[in-house]
Structure 1
């Protein structure tokens, strides 16, 4: 292995170098980080909420194949993302990658866009969690309670866990994730063995004409939104045991597990009823389809367990996004682009405690606004905020792919053709296709209002532009040095 000539190192700018007291610490392995990001993806929530919508409004019984297609696109994205991770020592994820590849203005613009995006997805989960918990309590004979009170209670618990060391959150998420995945895997296994309640196991996901039927664009839009959260592996870089190995392993593992779980579980839902009946049931009652399906296959006890685990699935996603947002604020505080207090770690917990508290305050403010304006927690809070997050994350991933291509073309720090050119280019093409389909179908995703779709798009554009303009007021908004310790020249990959 030979290395090209080293590029001159540029000293880290003031505010970006991390003093000992301003660095997060931890010993998270790939498994712990995978728990974090898979929990953020909320597997049971996707099976319960997204699968019925994909069946009814997307490409029908072939919708499970759409998860596999999206997983392939995201794996192509991950190749360049992981190749560049060894040259990005900061834990700023999209922000750090885009800044190193495209410059300070796009980097800080993406940071502001990421803050808005992840705040939106967390707000969506608060609305869905409050409504779901209220429904479960009433189902078992309890009183009707406003959704926002449940959301506020969940905020307090997430805030306490976010204030403490990351390994505590990792343990909580591990337990919750195992529970929600287990009930679905049991359901999948029973359907695979018995053939379900209908005419037998579905084969629609293997038929090209079925995959291309209906509205493939809407199907891709719903499927790609279900992967939000996997890209946050790099945010936990400082708390990883061996970040240069742990982060790439966690990224690939999370994507493969999420993609396989979604594809198989969606296929099991279809197979449980049969192609035509599954699509009909999804259109008639999408909100209760998964619970009624699990009840029919596993019995009343299985249905009751699924209802409870749907609540814990939402809380796990909430906690994961809380941790991600806190670490984004921490990275920006360290870089001097946000108040310096955000970049301070707790002396005992080694957590971004100030950023965590600020993030909790922002979430509380949003819950109050939603409550005062009387917004419906599902059809408005969840739908609007989830749509915003989908558009924002796709934009960030496309920018990151572009940044990877530009970074390696300029630095020549890694000469592997597949890792630095081909895979990122294919990933960028796939992501731009998904982004175009999402924009075209965006009004559908948020309830059918073109005016609202335009307003949400404007918010995201303003966030990015605001960050780009703010970079001019910050002397050194991002580190600009290129790490040459890990320069790679593997000619056999060409």
Structure 2
């Protein structure tokens, strides 16, 4: 075996992120205000109407079940690679690299999609206050420049920025929810939400689908492993907290909007929003909090989108950093900034990649919402559900091959992963069967977009023979650590 004399020592990121900071970044990636203003009207208007809040709750349950196996395996995966590290440890380097490529495609897609949404939202905000209407992509690239600066620096700065933005947007929605329920809404508390006749309709699949889209990025807790203060405790806590907080927030806020306009009017009002003849969130805010708070919410929508895109930027940069450490990507991407201790080179490359994709979509003349955000969100949703399904299978295989590790972990190592496989397979069917609603395109275009994550997975599997991902000792820890306590 030939030793490379110029091989650089493996570098790791470091930091002192606590549970709260990681939860902030993960929830910021979910862009809660954006989901309440965008996904919720779609779930109500094209899904199961007044029963849509239950769809969000079901999605949260599916992801919480998945998280149990994910967290149970966490003490045995010692690198910040998230899904692909778990898949490598359980199913081998080929599927591991396939998962890594799928994750890069999914996160890049949703990030570019949010840049498109941001461009539209900023133009809408400026024109609402009497400013000139400019091309949406100007705002998108301006946002990208700010994200590039923050992503280049230490992760603690991004965490502070995300924390402030997230606190404000959650606070305003909580205030709206409380006022709606306190005043009784338009026609009293919408108990119709819990009527089985409203829940179990054909449209519940649409509600679950758009709820899952709103959870994209929650697994990023494991990406920040090297920068966590105490990863063995911080990562499990952050994962569970992120899923529970996001799920409860979505479900209650969706229920509040149904109550605010009245269960009998919810579908009609939501459909008017989709037709561009109103805005469920902003109009309801005006009714219950007044026009000034409506303006505040519209501004906070911008901060929500910014927090979202910054969080995704940080996640992608760290995926690339870890792959470079494994010689899958160029070594320069695996270099840490000497002062900021950030994956600075990877951050720059990620910005350039996003800029190229966004420029291509802009030159194609696509609409920023349907053409850019809708299609990219569709690609990301398929990719993330596929990744979670593969990861749950990896958890099962990992512990099946190491029965001595199962003692005291039966539920987390076997029962919940099996339930997760069933639930995620069902979720993937829901996503694909309703995919045109996500992309806003034709069946042909939707099929092509849905295949992008699958193709990325296949390319990774093929390249996995040439670039094997070593799962031991950097991936799965040895059996000598089997007596360590686990949160699962």
Assess same fold via TM > 0.5. Answer: yes
CA distance in 2, matches of 1:357, 1:478: 26
Deviation sequence 1:45-75 (CA, Å, 0-9, x none): 0000000000011110010111111111111
Unpaired runs of 5+ in structure 2?
Answer: none
Structural RMSD (CA): 1.9
Q: Report the equivalent of 1:266.
A: 254
CA distance in 2, matches of 1:445, 1:468: 28
Is 1:284–2:272 an aligned residue pair? yes
Unpaired runs of 5+ in structure 1?
Answer: 1-12
Q: Report the equivalent of 1:442.
A: 435
Is 1:462–2:455 an aligned residue pair? yes
Residue 204 of structure 1 deviates from its aligned partner by 2.4
Residue 488 of structure 1 deviates from its aligned partner by 4.4
Q: Report the equivalent of 2:329.
A: 338
CA distance in 1, matches of 2:259, 2:107: 34
Contact 1:163/1:357 (8 A) holds in 2: yes
Q: Report the equivalent of 1:417.
A: 410
Deviation sequence 1:190-215 (CA, Å, 0-9, x none): 0111112x111111232222111241
Alignment of 1:69-88 (within 5 A): 69-88=58-77
Q: What's the secondary structure of 1:86's corresponding residue?
A: helix
Structure 1 window deviating more from structure 2 (413-422 vs 119-128): it is 413-422
Q: Report the equivalent of 2:159.
A: 170
Deviation sequence 1:312-348 (CA, Å, 0-9, x none): 1000000000000000000100011111111111111
User: Taking structure 2 as the reference length, what is the TM-score of the superposition?
Assistant: 0.95
Alignment of 1:190-339 (within 5 A): 190-196=179-185, 198-286=186-274, 288-339=279-330
CA distance in 2, matches of 1:463, 1:489: 35
CA distance in 2, matches of 1:14, 1:452: 46
Is 1:451–2:444 an aligned residue pair? yes
CA distance in 1, matches of 2:239, 2:431: 24
CA distance in 2, matches of 1:128, 1:71: 24
Structure 1 window deviating more from structure 2 (434-443 vs 241-250): it is 434-443
Aligned residues: 476
1:158 to 130, 133, 147: 147
Q: What's the secondary structure of 1:479's corresponding residue?
A: coil
CA distance in 2, matches of 1:352, 1:195: 50
Deviation sequence 1:258-303 (CA, Å, 0-9, x none): 0010011001100001112121100112362211111111000110
1:37 to 18, 26, 29: 26
Contact 1:18/1:334 (8 A) holds in 2: no
User: Taking structure 1 as the reference length, what is the TM-score of the superposition?
Assistant: 0.94
Contact 2:379/2:452 (8 A) holds in 1: no
